[in-house]
A and B are shown apart, each in its own frame.
Chain A
Amino acid sequence: GAVVSQHPSRVICKSGTSVKIECRSLDFQATTMFWYRQFPKQSLMLMATSNEGSKATYEQGVEKDKFLINHASLTLSTLTVTSAHPEDSSFYICSASGFALQETQYFGPGTRLLVL
């Protein structure tokens, strides 16, 4: 149980375009989803927390207009990187937690974004 999927697994795009990443909880209802960014050989940096049906809470320094988060259902959250630039290239990982899981977060497989 507690499986989280993420799509796409990798994406290459041109500078200026927008990219949407989906995060799904496959076998549980995710009341909260988290979006992280991870640079090579570094820890997980929390970008934002999203709760189903409400606006996401962004961490300090994360531009909410650049990283749009939607959590429309208990099994799906999306992250859209708008007007992507090379410096947005990174590994983006989502995680999810739900009622039955208490505080535990389960992670998706991540999306490697390369902006040319």
Chain B
Amino acid sequence: GENVEQHPSTLSVQEGDSAVIKCTYSDSASNYFPWYKQELGKRPQLIIDIRSNVGEKKDQRIAVTLNKTAKHFSLHITETQPEDSAVYFCAAEVKNAGNMLTFGGGTRLMVKP
């Protein structure tokens, strides 16, 4: 099965600084890696995803990088804003399991104004 480790568990940054969250996975056959943002009491929302045929994907202030050889992927948020404060989860596809995902433990990001 797939195992996903996520670090750090909490991250505090000053508004305008960058934030980086890192995840490692165990199954080299995994090809799909989404990132979700969850605000308190709300649903997890997909913010960006990456497939193994690319090494980097960017969407405005958010970017994700993937290193398949090392089996790790990272979320980068630039010019952080207070509304970026939330819990972020990385996930990795469980191969041959019908779109099942294994989630990391989550990172609580706090952006201080």
Contact = CB atoms under 8 A, between A and B. Distances in A.
Given A43-B103, A93-B43, A106-B46, A32 B89 contact: no
Contacts of A67: none
A107 B99 contact: no
Interface of B: 32, 34, 36, 41-46, 49, 89, 93, 97-101, 103-106, 108
Contacts of A93: 43-44
A105 B34 CA distance: 9
A103 B32 contact: yes
Contacts, number: 50
Contacts of B36: 107
Interface of A: 4, 32, 34, 41-44, 46, 49, 51, 93, 97, 102-110, 112
A43 B105 contact: yes
A107 B98 contact: no
A-B pairs, 10 with minimum CB distance: A107-B43, A97-B99, A103-B32, A109-B43, A107-B44, A103-B99, A44-B103, A43-B105, A43-B106, A43-B103
Contact of A51 (B46, B98, B103, B105): B98
Contacts of A32: 98-99
> Which of A97, A103, A107 has the most C-beta atoms of chain B within 10 angstroms of its own C-beta?
A103
Contact of A109 (B42, B104, B105): B42
Contacts of B106: 42-43
Contacts of A112: 41
Contacts of A49: 97-98, 100
A43 B9 CA distance: 11
A98 to B, nearest CB: 9
B100 A43 contact: no
| Residue of A44, A93, A112 with most partner-chain B CB within 10 A | A44
